[in-house]
A and B are shown apart, each in its own frame.
Chain A
């Protein structure tokens, strides 16, 4: 008991005090990122370098997360029969935990390149692996290429926003990659992609390029620009029929009524839906394995 008390006291000393009552709970430098876990005013934030990757409420780990992660749930509107979801990029695992929590019929698999991130998600972000929650430590594209599984939805959130712009892994943003992802998805498969940027302001050229590139593979692409952050979640569907906003609202209402979409605020998330392409979409660069100037696009050089 005394040992434990001393250990706790020691742990308390190790929490580096930061301005505003924030404390660095954990710090680790992996080959990929300088990772920090910081607690402040009841929220726990995962930082890669200077970028916030994930936030959870310490009181209720299903709350506090970034708004944009909720748009991943919109996948249901294009595929109402999902049982398997693959997420590329783990971070703190908030999206993973929420899919596991709200949809008991869904099996979640994640691919995370950095083993340290998995350790931290387990130790600090209430992430638990199980039959319905699996993680593969690998590069997302390599994993998909070698896998023969078929997923109903693939979610891409392997994106790092840093002080000097983003480091979007270019091999996960090309036409060839999206073709591979499409092959690994079931007939009504849906792909969700988190892009950091805006539709017509900051980094619009990157958003336009991703839209155009997704559209070159998938017949339908929709956008959900987040209200509280500079994220645009794109939803690409393998089905050819364009969805009308009214029809989508009806479908959402049905899902909520049937208790199949218990995420709080599921209906409201539809409000930001944009069915029209971004204004610059067809002037934007098509990203291919041969030519994917993602750094230049992000910096607005093009």
Chain B
């Protein structure tokens, strides 16, 4: 049961991260254009978030071993995602308008402006979501002898969630929903994931201590 819960939670986490990555690239295009650099930035920033999130999640898991901790991380992350359509305009405006008008943007900033934009909008929520996987490995593992299997299945479930996120967002959501509603649904889903973590806290904690 414990591993099923863990798998479902990380599946959702992986799903949300990739929806943010794919739909986010589309979102950034209206300000940074559809240049190759926008895709490179978006992929790079999400990978930075994964690295930070994995590290953070692992450290938190050793320190707390309570599922509710994830909830307190994911709920604010979900609120951030929900607010992306309204809140990110000003930050991105600043990135673009800080270059003097009329002159070409230096090549360095042509490449790095979208990185900056992507990081400001997507880094924090993706860090929180990525921390879920290592945290759940710790929560789901009952003995050292099982650590290989449990980490393997958690990582697999999270990756399967990511695969679903890529195709569902790129092939279905983009065709049927506005970006604003996609961010709001995704933000809502992240909050829900956080609430699940708090709600299931006792269930997993009791099982753990038995």
Contacts and interface: CB of A to CB of B under 8 A. Distances in A.
Contacts of A137: 104
A301 B175 contact: yes
A295 B169 CA distance: 13
B180 interface: yes
A290 B179 contact: yes
Interface string A158-174: 00000000000111101
B189 to A, nearest CB: 19
20 contacts: A113-B35, A136-B104, A138-B104, A139-B35, A142-B96, A146-B96, A146-B105, A148-B101, A148-B102, A169-B29, A171-B33, A171-B34, A172-B34, A288-B178, A289-B30, A290-B178, A290-B179, A293-B174, A293-B176, A295-B174
A176 interface: yes
Contact of B32 (A142, A169, A289, A291): A142
Contacts of B202: none
B176 A32 contact: no
Interface string A168-196: 01111010110000000000000000000
B108 interface: no
B30 A113 contact: no
Interface of A: 31-32, 113, 136-142, 145-148, 169-172, 174, 176-177, 288-291, 293, 295-296, 301-302
The interface residues of chain B, by DSSP majority, are classed as helix
B179 A289 contact: yes
A172 to B, nearest CB: 8
Contacts of B32: 139, 142
A113 B178 CA distance: 26
A112 B111 CA distance: 16
B33 A142 contact: yes
A256 B191 CA distance: 66
Nearest to B35: A139
Interface string B171-210: 0001111111000000000000000000000000000000
B178 A291 contact: yes
Contacts of B175: 293, 295-296, 301-302
B138 interface: no
B96 A171 contact: no
Contacts of B101: 146-148
Contacts of B35: 113, 139
A293 B177 CA distance: 9
Contacts of B33: 113, 138-142, 171
Interface in B52-70: none
A71 B201 CA distance: 66
Q: List the 9 shortest-distance A-B pairs measured between CB atoms, nearest first.
A: A139-B33, A296-B175, A31-B36, A291-B178, A290-B178, A293-B175, A171-B29, A169-B34, A142-B33
Nearest to B32: A142
A174 B102 contact: no
Contacts of B85: 290
A193 B185 CA distance: 34
A113 B177 CA distance: 28
Interface in B75-128: 85, 96-97, 99, 101-102, 104-105, 110
Contacts of A148: 101-102
Contacts of B96: 142, 145-146
A296 B176 CA distance: 9
Nearest to A113: B35
A288 B33 CA distance: 15
